[in-house]
Amino acid sequence: MAKGNGTLVHNFKLLANHQLDGFGGMGEGMSIQIAPDGRRILWLAHESAPKNFTGVDVTDPKNPKVVVQTNLPTSHMRSNSLEVSGNIMAVAYQTQKQGQKPAGMELFDISKPENPKSIAFFDRSGPHSRGVHVLWFHDGEYVHMAAGAPDFEAGHELDDQCYQIIDVKNPSKPTEVGRWWMPGTKKGETPIKRHEKPALDKGFRAHNTNVYPSHPDRCYLAYLDGGMLIMDIKDKANPKPISRWDNSPPYTGFTHTMIPMFKRGLAIVADESTVDGGKDWPKLVWILDIRDEKNPIPIATCPPPAFDEFAHRGGRFGAHNMHENLELPTSFHSEDIIFCTYFGGGLVAYDISNPYRPETVGTFIPPAPNGSKIGAIQINDCFVDERRIVYCVDRFTGGLYILEPTF
């Protein structure tokens, strides 16, 4: 029997791999800009210091070129997330420990991609804050983010990032217009019931804060150990939960992203694996029926890559980021096909035409990248553009992989 070699590539053609000049450890911020001169620039957040962000010209997806790569001012911070709207880019800054600086969000003018110019720094540092972990900037008007704040103190240190809405209509003066935290997580409130096994208590804090321009009154909010929530944000000063779905226990929390499929009344929800070797398995991608948004119902999970083969090769194994179906001309948009990342399980595309029975239609699990210390790929995030070119990144060394789906 010919044994597998730890790779599985099916229905994806690799067009290019760029290790980003030796700094190929990438975070969960990927966004496309069509620059004023017509070039297509893919902006990428780095997983950790020393690099801040990298802009890659992907006009020709077979020949990506780094146009700019910037540094962070200190090694105790990371810019794990970024988003582009027009020629403005928002970058999230998070520190290792509470109380450290700088922590917050920075807006850049990227009209000239080679030379991003800072427009504003929105400070979120504070004695009990690590700043911003993830942000969402889609409509050019508001940044939605998972962040600490100078005046926010959680009852438990793991609950230190809540949901915040920042008005950036005047990008030089970002202003907080609303925030919401899960009741029981702010200091002084009756504490929320935590996950019982300490190793699985990962925190009740905000993660992805997806708001789509076609439905500006809704935020699809993932809240890690708190599951996911559909939020009414018509009154941005006073976000209100409409419903909440939480799979844990018996699952192991860390709900990471929720993507609505408005036409079909469906939502895709992913948990994140945060423990190496698949020890927090199963971390899944779930399909929910949200035709009644007050009553989300799980109807299926997506078949993950083979655990026995890929979970023990090094690093994490389980769901993480997905392509988020942005309502932008530069984003692939589908309510039939979804793209999900699984760390050591690579990138998987599913056909969810029948949402009760999602089918794998493509898999990309490449070999461990050059220079990998853990010995396996760790696909961390993905983005698909309107040309159906798929971009995905490795968490440690592999940098950017550009793929063409063939299904």
The least CB distance from residue 298 to other proteins, in Å, is 14
Among the listed residues 336, 370, 375, 386, the single contact to other proteins using CB under 8 A: 336
| Strand order across the 132-137 sheet | 132-137, 142-147, 162-167, 175-180
Give whichever of 182 and 403 is closer to other proteins, judged by the CB atom.
403
Give whichever of 20 and 337 is closer to other proteins, judged by the CB atom.
337
Q: How far is CA 293 from CA 222, 260, 266, 298, in A?
A: 15, 10, 10, 12
Q: What distance in Å separates the CA atoms of residue 22 and residue 201, rounded to the nearest whole number?
A: 35
Among the listed residues 37, 172, 196, 308, the single contact to other proteins using CB under 8 A: 308
Is 3 among the residues that bind other proteins (CB under 8 A)? yes
Among the listed residues 137, 220, 310, 383, the single contact to other proteins using CB under 8 A: 310
The least CB distance from residue 214 to other proteins, in Å, is 14
Is 355 among the residues that bind other proteins (CB under 8 A)? yes
Is 363 among the residues that bind other proteins (CB under 8 A)? yes
Q: How far is CA 61 from CA 13, 23, 393, in A?
A: 12, 20, 14
Is 214 among the residues that bind other proteins (CB under 8 A)? no
What is the Cβ-side half-sphere exposure of residue 163, based on CA atoms within 13 angstroms? 32
Among the listed residues 353, 370, 371, 386, the single contact to other proteins using CB under 8 A: 353
Contact present, 41 and 56 (Cβ < 8 Å) = yes
Q: What distance in Å separates the CA atoms of residue 195 and residue 129, rounded to the nearest whole number?
A: 22
CA torsion, points 306, 311, 315, 319, in degrees to nearest 10?
50
Is 351 among the residues that bind other proteins (CB under 8 A)? yes
Give whichever of 75 and 406 is closer to other proteins, judged by the CB atom.
406
Residues 6+ away with beta carbon under 8 Å from 206: 133, 134, 145, 146, 147, 161, 162, 163, 181, 221, 222, 223, 224
* Interaction mask 262-301, other proteins, x per CB under 8 A: -xxxx----------------------x-x----------
Give whichever of 9 and 177 is closer to other proteins, judged by the CB atom.
9
Contact present, 207 and 222 (Cβ < 8 Å) = yes
Neighbours of 170 (CB within 10 A): 10
Is 306 among the residues that bind other proteins (CB under 8 A)? yes
Give whichever of 63 and 353 is closer to other proteins, judged by the CB atom.
353
Residues 6+ away with beta carbon under 8 Å from 2: none
Among the listed residues 226, 318, 362, 369, the single contact to other proteins using CB under 8 A: 362
Is 373 among the residues that bind other proteins (CB under 8 A)? no
The least CB distance from residue 136 to other proteins, in Å, is 24
Question: Burial of 110 by CB count in 10 Å (0-12 exposed, 13-18 middle, 19+ buried)?
Answer: buried
Residues 6+ away with beta carbon under 8 Å from 354: none
Number of residues lying near other proteins (CB under 8 A): 36
Is 385 among the residues that bind other proteins (CB under 8 A)? no
Among the listed residues 80, 84, 46, the one whose alpha carbon sits nearest the alpha carbon of residue 399 = 46
Give whichever of 7 and 74 is closer to other proteins, judged by the CB atom.
7
388-407 binders of other proteins (CB under 8 A): 407
Q: Is the peptide bond before 64 cis (omega within 30 degrees of 0)?
A: no
Phi, psi of 143 (to 5 degrees): -105, 125
* Interaction mask 5-44, other proteins, x per CB under 8 A: xxxxxxx---------------------------------
The residue ranges that bind other proteins (CB under 8 A) are 1-11, 263-266, 289, 291, 306, 308-310, 335-337, 349, 351, 353-356, 359-363, 407
